[in-house]
Amino acid sequence: MEKKAIIIGASTGIGRELAKVLSSEGYIVGLAARREELLRELQQELPNPSVVQAMDVADTEQARERLNALLAEMGDVELIVLNAGIGIRNPDWEQQYRLLMINAVGFAALAELAMSYFTQRGGGRLAGISSVMALKGVGRFEAYSASKAFISTYMQGLRQKSRKLKLNITVTDVKPGFVATPMTEHNENMFWVAPADKAARQIYRAIQKRRSHVYITRRWRLVGWIMKAIPDWLFTRLPV
């Protein structure tokens, strides 16, 4: 039986590398992102068949229509990965608005559709890329932190819903630390920076094990514990 997966946000970074991992593991992969030319380039690198669909997650109506079209074209998809997202340091309001439309509203629009699809299918796997920064509101990245916290909380709700209603849908919250991608290439003071291909392999293993959440790479679990333990009065004084 053919294995099929869709990655939203497959043109660069983690999504691109995860597409390579899934294809090498025998998946037919649906590739979705705003820049179709990058998806076509990726398509030529994959060892197994793939399907390309241009999609702007900021336009939620269009994104839902395009995901529905991709699901109909591929048929019987067992895994959907929601990876589309942007991060901007010190954004103005217009930039914050676009960030929140993509990272939060766009995520919810596609996650809800994915859950409906898997419910009708009788099960499936949904993975969403949040961030270690979801654990605290980080200055200069407050909108990004808030959007990633939204993703984590939304997925927690979906996970509880799946269990309560016995939907047989696994929901995996992926919390990366620093990963070498185009979005992080200008960030300062990064540490424990993981290559995107290493991050992708760990994400794949977590999905296959039906994990509810995972830190990427695994050492960031320690950072997560520390961030959760730091009281607000101390965190607001840290030089971040």
Q: Domain containing 31 — which CATH number?
A: 3.40.50.720
Q: What pTM was estimated for this model as a whole?
A: 0.94
pLDDT at 126: 98
For residue 196, tell me if it sits in a domain.
yes
**Secondary element (H or E) of residue 100:** helix 93-100
For residue 37, tell me if it sits in a domain.
yes
For residue 182, tell me if it sits in a domain.
yes
* Better-scored residue on pLDDT, 219 or 71: 71
37-60, pLDDT tens digit by residue? 999 999 999 999 999 999 999 999
The strand pairing partners of 129, in sequence order, are 174
- Active-site annotation holder among 117, 144, 154, 215: 144
Which range has the top average pLDDT, 84-93, 115-124, 229-238? 115-124
Task: Give the mean model confidence (pLDDT) for residues 72-101.
Answer: 95
Name the pLDDT band for 189 (thresholds 50, 70, 90).
Answer: low
Name the pLDDT band for 187 (thresholds 50, 70, 90).
Answer: low
* Better-scored residue on pLDDT, 179 or 158: 158
Report the number of distinct structural domains present in the chain. Answer: 1
For residue 104, tell me if it sits in a domain.
yes
pLDDT at 180: 77
What backbone torsions phi and psi does residue 174 show, to the nearest 5 degrees? -100, 120
Peptide bond into 12 cis (omega under 30): no
Distance, CA of 22 to CA of 175 (rounded, Å)? 19
Judged against a pLDDT cut of 90, whether residue 91 lies above it is answered with: yes
For residue 216, tell me if it sits in a domain.
yes
Range of the structural domain that residue 41 is part of: 3-235
Task: Give the mean model confidence (pLDDT) for residues 160-179.
Answer: 95
DSSP, residue by residue, 142-209? HHHHHHHHHHHHHHHHHHHHHHHTT--EEEEEEEE-SEESTTTTT-SS--SPEEHHHHHHHHHHHHHT
Task: Give the mean model confidence (pLDDT) for residues 127-139.
Answer: 94
Active site residue 97: no
For residue 121, tell me if it sits in a domain.
yes
For residue 197, tell me if it sits in a domain.
yes
Among 190, 11, 161, 173, residue whose Cα is nearest residue 107: 173
For residue 240, tell me if it sits in a domain.
no
Contacts (Cβ under 8 Å, ≥6 apart) of 238: 230
Among 15-19, 61-65, 105-109, 185-189, the range scoring the smallest mean pLDDT is 185-189
Contacts (Cβ under 8 Å, ≥6 apart) of 221: 215
Judged against a pLDDT cut of 70, whether residue 185 lies above it is answered with: no
Peptide bond into 217 cis (omega under 30): yes
